[in-house]
């Protein structure tokens, strides 16, 4: 699925937001890196073995890559949507698994609002994936119909 006009606003808004986040993490000082790494490794323990600065730079590179993928029109929307879905699912994992982020397991506390808002990115990513799947089904159906029509044409004598 290529870029369609109705994808432009969501790709620009989301891509710009994520790109800015990644660029700001590139220049993270040790305290900021420790905070980012501490939050992530508290939820995802396998990250504990990574150095905080290295983790933050890798995270920054990932955000820059995803932001650019959303902003570049030649990146298929379904591909950008897959990246956005995975990224936002990871962020929502932080939200749901970090103590003090939710009041009742779903509704955010004041501390949880910055992560709870990432649900919009998950919605956009899943929408891009669903549209891509629908487009693939449509193209397959059209191909089957064309093949059937080609086979139904009588051969010239």
pLDDT in tens, 125-151: 999 999 988 887 777 787 888 888 888
**Every domain of the chain and the residues it spans:** 5-150
Classify burial at 57, counting beta carbons within 10 Å of its beta carbon; exposed 0-12, middle 13-18, buried 19 or more: middle
What residues contact residue 53 under an 8 Å CB cut-off, 6+ apart?
Answer: 28, 30, 33
In this structure, what are the phi and psi dihedrals at residue 108, rounded to the nearest 5 degrees? -75, 150
pLDDT, tens digit, 9 for 90 and up, residues 45-101: 999 999 999 999 999 999 999 999 999 999 999 999 999 999 999 999 989 988 889
> How far is 114 from 96, CA to CA, in rounded Å?
12
């Amino acid at each position: 699925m290529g870029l369609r006009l109705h994808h432009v606003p969501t790709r620009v808004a989301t891509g710009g937001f994520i790109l800015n986040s990644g660029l700001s993490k590139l220049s993270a000082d040790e305290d900021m890196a420790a905070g980012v790494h501490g939050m992530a490794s508290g939820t995802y323990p396998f990250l504990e073995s990574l150095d905080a600065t290295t983790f933050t730079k890798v995270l920054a590179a990932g955000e820059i890559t995803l932001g650019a993928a959303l902003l570049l029109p030649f990146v298929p929307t379904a591909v950008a949507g897959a990246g956005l879905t995975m990224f936002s699912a990871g962020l929502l994992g932080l939200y749901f698994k970090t103590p003090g982020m939710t009041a009742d397991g779903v509704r955010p506390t004041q501390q949880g609002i910055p992560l709870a808002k990432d649900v919009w990115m998950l919605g956009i990513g899943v929408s891009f994936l669903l549209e891509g799947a629908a487009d693939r089904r449509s193209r397959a159906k059209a191909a089957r119909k064309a093949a059937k029509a080609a086979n139904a044409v009588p051969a010239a004598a």
